[in-house]
Amino acid sequence: MNKRVKVMTILLAAGLGACASVEPTAVSVPDRIRPGANESLAAVVPAKGVQIYECREAKGHPGTYEWAFVAPDAMLFDSHGIRIGKHYAGPHWESNDSSKVVAALKDRADAPVAGAIPWLLLTAKSVGPEGSFSKVTSIVRANTVGGIAPRSGCSQAAAGTSARVEYTADYYFYDVKSTTRPAAYNTGSRY
């Protein structure tokens, strides 16, 4: 084998080895939306969909109407753009393998980009069968684009109508620190 082929073979093998050991990368977030010290980043799950709002009478302000958040409706993807699940009311994150979690808001921070929904820290618990999402204990929503409620168009005449506002976000899934996790989706996920 000539020298050039040997060098190419070594570089190719090194590159494939590096790809096999890809770890998800954490995002820089305000301290109040960081997960617990006993948790580690397991996967980064990009989402694309809509935030659904409904025009309703404002609580405590009779005769005043506002767009109220109802639910998300989004598709979840791996790092290669392959659909791996969905995100919907609850809020739930459900994998194609039927494992799912439901989450509750722990804290929030304004998005650093104007016109984007806030970044969130959510506590999560499994509500489905064992699978790729079942060990998730916290979720951070970050890198949001769009999704904020409409600024106009809500009045008594429009009460009950809905608006579907496009958004994208990255969901950072955390679980309790562990030394072993099964592989999932070839996304750099540690599950």
**Model confidence over 30-58: pLDDT tens digits?**
999 999 999 999 999 999 999 999 999 99
Q: What is the mean pLDDT of residues 168-174?
A: 98
Q: What pTM did the predictor assign?
A: 0.81
Q: Which residue has the higher pLDDT, 183 or 34?
A: 34
Instruction: Show the tokens assigned to 48.
Output: 């694309």
Interval 131-155 mean pLDDT: 97
Burial class of residue 45 (count of CB atoms within 10 Å of its CB; 0-12, 13-18, 19+): buried
- Residue 182 structure tokens: 């099964």
The secondary structure element, H or E, covering residue 174 is strand 162-176
Show the tokens assigned to 59. 């609580």
Whole-number pLDDT of residue 177: 85
How far is Cα 165 from Cα 89, in angstroms, rounded to an integer?
A: 15
